[in-house]
Every structure is written in structure tokens, then in C-alpha cells.
A and B are shown apart, each in its own frame.
Chain A
Amino acid sequence: MLMMSRRQGETILIGDDIEIVIAHIGRSRVKVGIRAPRRVQVVAQEVKLVGDENRAAAQAPSAEVLQLILAQLRPGPHTLRPRPDEESVRQDAGTKN
């Protein structure tokens, strides 16, 4: 991987039409400005991961698979209460097969 040191306000050019500006350097983050043609997709790596994951997750499972998940979550009361009985949920999920 090519490594370059840049100061705030300085720019990196990639090819003829991609420009990357180090807009701001904070304590633990940098703000980067990117100018690229429309055909080039620019996205944070996490967002790409989540998009791929969403596409894989985008179908409802069969009734059998659902029952399998539920069987592993049970026994124990599960509701949409804000804070479920934390210990029992953890144990159920971890020990029931």
C-alpha cells in the first residue's frame, strides 16, 4: 500500500479526475473531502459491508428456520420490553441447544 503524509488542507490526486482533500484533522478522526466522477462510487467501508449484509438478509426465513431460532432462544419470557431479563436471555441463548 502506498503511504503518504499530508497536512490539513493538502490534496492527493488519483488519476486525472479523483481529488482527495484532507479537510480537517481532529484528535481521533480526519475529515476527508472527495471529488470524483459520478460513475465512481464513494462509500465508507462499513456502509458497503452493511449493504452486502442487508442483501444477504433480505428474505424472510422459512417457518422451520424461524422455529429453530426460537427454540434456541427459549425457554424464558421474551417480549419487546426495553430491558429483558438480561441474565436469563444470555443463558438461554448460550446454553440451550
Chain B
Amino acid sequence: MPLAETTNFGTIFFSPESVFEFPHGLPGFEDRRRFLPVQNPRTAPILFLQSLEEPSLCFTTLPILVVDPQYQLRIVEQDLEALEFPVDLQPRIGEDVLCLAVLSLRKTGTTANLLAPVVVNLKNYKAVQAVSQESGYSHQHFLFPQEEPVC
């Protein structure tokens, strides 16, 4: 079983079948292709995406429906191709894909990126960060609105 060195979790064992493969990387990290989903029962439902190529690179995510139960996923053709889905059908969250919102922890509060969810094909674990143009979703959606600074 392969080993990975990570800054946050130390040395971890993983099974190669559980790796998410981003054929085009993620915006800002185009050359980072392989991420391991890491979940700790004590911090569920948070799911960490640990890079297998850069020990210190780790994203913190939540299932997007936890952030917004009404979230409407809309994936462009190019991303559907990367996920190896037919381009004429939108995949369903939970049935066809895992859909995760990347969290940012800022001084003003925790935000979730709803503009560009991480989408993973549950059949082959191909993944993209799907920028949903024209969706109107924010890349900095406050998780807890009461934390928004009062101006």
C-alpha cells in the first residue's frame, strides 16, 4: 500500500483506487493532479483534499449540499468531458458525482466557493473544479451569515 508524506496528517497509507484524479489540476494549481480525500470522524462532514504531489497542499471542503441544500450544479461541456460524462446530460449530486465546496478561512469568517465546486465522478474518481459561469454563485459565500462584518 503506497505511503504519502503530508504536512497536516503526517505519513499516511492510502489505496490507489481512492485517489481523485484532476486531469487539468485546479485553477492556480494546474500541475497538481492527484488528491487524496481524507476524512476524520471527529471532523465529519468536513472532507480534506490532500495533494499527493505537494505535502503541504491541502484543501478543506464540505459537501456542497451541507452549505446550500438547494445548490444547482451546472457543468460546462469541457468539464463534463474531463469527467468522462456524456456532454448532453447534467450529472446528479450524490448519484453520479460527489460535489464539494472548497472552504477559505478568513478573518471575517469562513467562506465557501460555490462558484467553482470540486466535482468528482463517483464511477472513475476523475475530478474537476467546475467553474460555473453564469450561475450567479459567489466564490466567497459566507458559511455563517451572522459572521459577516457590519459596516
Residues of A within 8 A of B (CB): 44, 46-61, 65-66, 69-70, 72-73, 78-84, 86-87, 89-90, 93-94, 97
Contact = CB atoms under 8 A, between A and B. Distances in A.
B115 A57 contact: no
The secondary-structure label for the interface of chain A is helix
Contact of A69 (B94, B110, B140): B110
A73 B61 CA distance: 13
Interface of B: 7-8, 26-29, 39, 43-48, 56-60, 63, 65-67, 69-70, 93-95, 98, 102-106, 110, 113, 115-116, 129, 131, 133, 139-140, 143-146
A53 B94 contact: no
Given A46-B115, A93-B143, A69 B46 contact: yes
A82 B93 contact: yes
A56 B103 CA distance: 9
Contacts of B66: 73, 78, 84, 89, 93
Given A60-B60, A94-B146, 9 more contacts: A46-B133, A49-B139, A50-B131, A54-B59, A56-B106, A61-B60, A66-B46, A69-B103, A80-B47
A79 B45 contact: yes
20 contacts: A44-B131, A46-B115, A49-B115, A50-B27, A51-B28, A54-B26, A54-B28, A56-B106, A58-B28, A60-B8, A61-B103, A65-B110, A69-B143, A80-B44, A80-B63, A82-B65, A86-B69, A89-B69, A93-B143, A94-B146
